[in-house]
Amino acid sequence: MHHIILDSETDFDGWRNAARALALNDVKPSNVTWRVANDASELFAPTHQPLEPPQGTFSVPARFVELAEVAILHRNPERFALLYRLLWRLRQHHDLLEIATDPDVAEITAMAKAVRSDEHKMHALVRFREVGREQKSHFVAWFEPEHHIVELAAPFFARRFADMPWSILTPDVCAHWDGHAVSFTPGVAKSEAPTADRLEETWRSYYASIFNPVQKEMPGKYWRNLPEASSIKPLIEGAERTASAMIAKAATEPHKPQTRLEPSVESDEASEMARRRADDIEMLREEAADCRACHLYKHATQTVFGEGQQTAQIMLVGEQPGDKEDLAGKPFVGPAGQMLDRALEEAGIDRRKVYVTNAVKHFKFVPRGKIRLHQKPNTPEIKACRQWYERELAAIRPDLVVAMGATAAQSVFGKITPINKNRGRPIDLDDGTRAMVTVHPSYLLRLPDADAKAREYRRFVQDLKIAAAVLRKSAHAA
């Protein structure tokens, strides 16, 4: 039996080194126990059966490493063993991760998802309080993460609050930023966190202006720590009044129900729905800002997330942000966006009522002198980014998705979908989404022949008119 003791709850390198040595020594998962050292002396405790120094190598899919790096931050004490079992099985079955129904794959995927969601909650919910004054002021926040995410989440705060020295105190580990580097110290008790200061009022009014009823579904554990907690009850009441007004209005003007405000139901399906609804677009935008799902983030200025009302009935999907969008951080603000605005107006669709997004959320380009030349995203990039489209779709639940161009069609339909054969008619997808394809406005901009350009533009407007008609029809049927 081998008893592996890791340095800390987040000791991925320790787990990886031990797992590699165990696997190369053909040690079965059932012959290994894993735990984390309680104190430094334990780190040097011998493993019961010494391992031979690892000979040879083996490879695992890059996706496993990415998944393991995140899943290891889950609080489940079985995670180290589960990861080793998966690693062991992957050596025999290299494509195992493709089998989403495999219990080990499903469990590790769910763990990684829970960790990411906790990271995103921390990004959205940490509230700093000022301690000290002027030159000596320091900003301190208290947070209780569900999982071991402090090291994972800290770089986000270093970027976001680069100009102020801060500390985030948690029961597990504390993160500190001095304007140059992030450091970590052991966790502390809540009593060490400051309780009130002059920032409180600022947070309260800021929060009142951005309040979204999604916070209603937030566990009390989180909102109790927010300075704006005292404003939450009146805000919820205000939101409910707004909801009632909207529902009353719906009697004369059919509109998609505001499902985030429905009372919760007890079934599993309903709680899954509630979780998905909790994917408020602003929270998704925050989470996507840190997306590393493919390499495109490395050269792009920022993630360009979708934009528009969460109650939008039409979701327009483009390919990827262009140069202007990359700099502005907003979709369709450059030449293609202007063409789109014009066509929407001619089709009688108010852009302010549409949610506009892209299949790929980072600008892909090659530098050519001072110019950044657009590059078409490839299939792995489209697939890596599809999670965001799926979550936007779940949050918005539009009546119709309009995919503009081949990349958008591939993402929306989940496979390569020829435009000309399918354009201009609503198609019901297996997941219940109603989708339509048309050309991308950039295609119209690129057409060299003026007649062809005018003709194709009219067809594009015609497709958008069909989208508008589909909506009118579904509004009548509702």
Question: Residues interacting with ligand URA, by CB under 6 A?
Answer: 318-322, 325, 331-332, 334, 336-337, 358, 442
Q: How far is the CB of 410 from ligand URA (least distance, A)?
A: 13
Nearer to ligand URA, 10 or 320 (CB): 320
Nearer to ligand URA, 228 or 326 (CB): 326
CA distances from 91 to 2, 22, 58, 60 (A): 20, 13, 8, 7
Nearer to ligand URA, 144 or 323 (CB): 323
Nearer to ligand URA, 43 or 445 (CB): 445
CA distances from 236 to 205, 212, 213, 282, 301 (A): 15, 9, 6, 18, 36
Q: How far is the CB of 403 from ligand URA (least distance, A)?
A: 11
Q: How far is the CB of 331 from ligand URA (least distance, A)?
A: 4
Q: How far is the CB of 319 from ligand URA (least distance, A)?
A: 4
Q: How far is the CB of 256 from ligand URA (least distance, A)?
A: 24
Report d(CA 34, CA 18) in Å as an integer.
10
Q: How far is the CB of 337 from ligand URA (least distance, A)?
A: 6
Residue 181: CB atoms within 10 A of its CB come to: 8
Maximum CA pair distance of the chain? Answer: 80
Q: How far is the CB of 171 from ligand URA (least distance, A)?
A: 42
Q: CB nearest ligand URA: which residue?
A: 318
List of residues 6+ apart from 301 with CB closer than 8 A: 326, 327, 329, 363
Q: How far is the CB of 266 from ligand URA (least distance, A)?
A: 41
What are the tokens at 420?
């000309």
Q: How far is the CB of 440 from ligand URA (least distance, A)?
A: 6
Nearer to ligand URA, 438 or 442 (CB): 442
Nearer to ligand URA, 154 or 393 (CB): 393
Nearer to ligand URA, 79 or 285 (CB): 285
Nearer to ligand URA, 313 or 320 (CB): 320
Nearer to ligand URA, 140 or 396 (CB): 396
Q: How far is the CB of 293 from ligand URA (least distance, A)?
A: 18
Q: Of 409, 426, 423, nearest to 474 (Cα)? A: 426
Q: Of 160, 198, 204, nearest to 182 (Cα)? A: 160
Report d(CA 165, CA 149) in Å as an integer.
20
Nearer to ligand URA, 202 or 338 (CB): 338
What are the tokens at 69?
């790096």
Nearer to ligand URA, 29 or 334 (CB): 334
Q: How far is the CB of 342 from ligand URA (least distance, A)?
A: 14
Report d(CA 245, CA 56) in Å as an integer.
68
